[in-house]
Amino acid sequence: MQHLLPLVAVGAITGLCSGLFGIGGALIGTPLLRMVVGMAPLLSLATPLPVSIPSALSGTIAYWRRGMVERSLTLQTLRAALPMTLVGSVLTHWTSGTVLMVATACAVFYVAIAMLRRPPQTNNALAASNSPLRITLATGFAGFIAGFLAIGGGMVLVPVFVRWLGVPIHRALATSLVCVAALAVPGTIVHGVLGHIDWQAAAVLAVASIPASQLGARLALRFPSRPLEIVYGGLLVLFGVWFLVRTLVAS
């Protein structure tokens, strides 16, 4: 297969970030496939999406064994986010590739800023002010973005859980990975029907990402919360600037 080694490298990087940062990998997989492998915008957008399913599940194992997955929050999230993922996925059919790439870069900046600015204090359980409506609105928005940008939802869910709902970072990462795997299913179906997925490339990405995701989850458990958030946000700022500049220059 053409570009086999670049695809393996992209798969390993996205898998590592999936386990380490709870983002499912597509957040950086899309820019890397576009810039490194040279895929068309819609293919680079959606091809990492099916990969996020085994990758996220692989990374979840280490967190689940530690009892860090917030099961109640997971169910509340999926009730709101799953239908909104379908809506967002369908809307990509009428959106230009350049707009989707710029939107991806903007989403990267949003997540970076949200994590860098988060106050250091968090609660070990959901704050009392987190009403079902608040959780539904926040996670429904994350589901829409997951479908529209084919990102699995983790890149939005992590800051939503941490900044808006007061969930500690490691529990947010763990819960996010479970949701990422579930949210990727309807998005994969819609984008697959629309012809936005290169299935051969997705298979290579999956093989490379699964062991890397497990490694990332183990590494994340060794870091204190606040340094992990700072590294997460700082790397996304740099990556977002690079991708946005490249996208605007190429358009």
What are the CB-based long-range contacts (under 8 Å, 24+) for 28-34? Answer: 28/239, 29/205, 30/101, 30/104, 30/149, 30/150, 30/151, 31/101, 31/104, 31/105, 31/239, 31/242, 31/243, 31/246, 33/201, 34/101, 34/243, 34/247
pLDDT at 26 > cutoff 90: no
User: In this predicted structure, what is the pLDDT of residue 219?
Assistant: 82
Matching residue, tokens 């959901």 = 126
User: In this predicted structure, what is the pLDDT of residue 120?
Assistant: 44
CA 31 – CA 217 distance, rounded (Å): 22
User: In this predicted structure, what is the pLDDT of residue 145?
Assistant: 86
**In the 8-state DSSP scheme, what is residue 173?**
H
What tokens were used for 34?
A: 């576009």
What tokens were used for 232?
A: 């997460």
What tokens were used for 221?
A: 């458990």
Structural domain count of the chain: 1
Could you list the residue range(s) of the whole structural domain that residue 200 is in? 4-250
Per-residue pLDDT band at 126 (split at 50, 70, 90): very low
Contact 178, 74 (CB under 8 A): yes
Dihedrals phi, psi of 69, to nearest 5 degrees:
-80, 125
Per-residue pLDDT band at 241 (split at 50, 70, 90): confident
User: In this predicted structure, what is the pLDDT of residue 79?
Assistant: 93
pLDDT at 171 > cutoff 50: yes
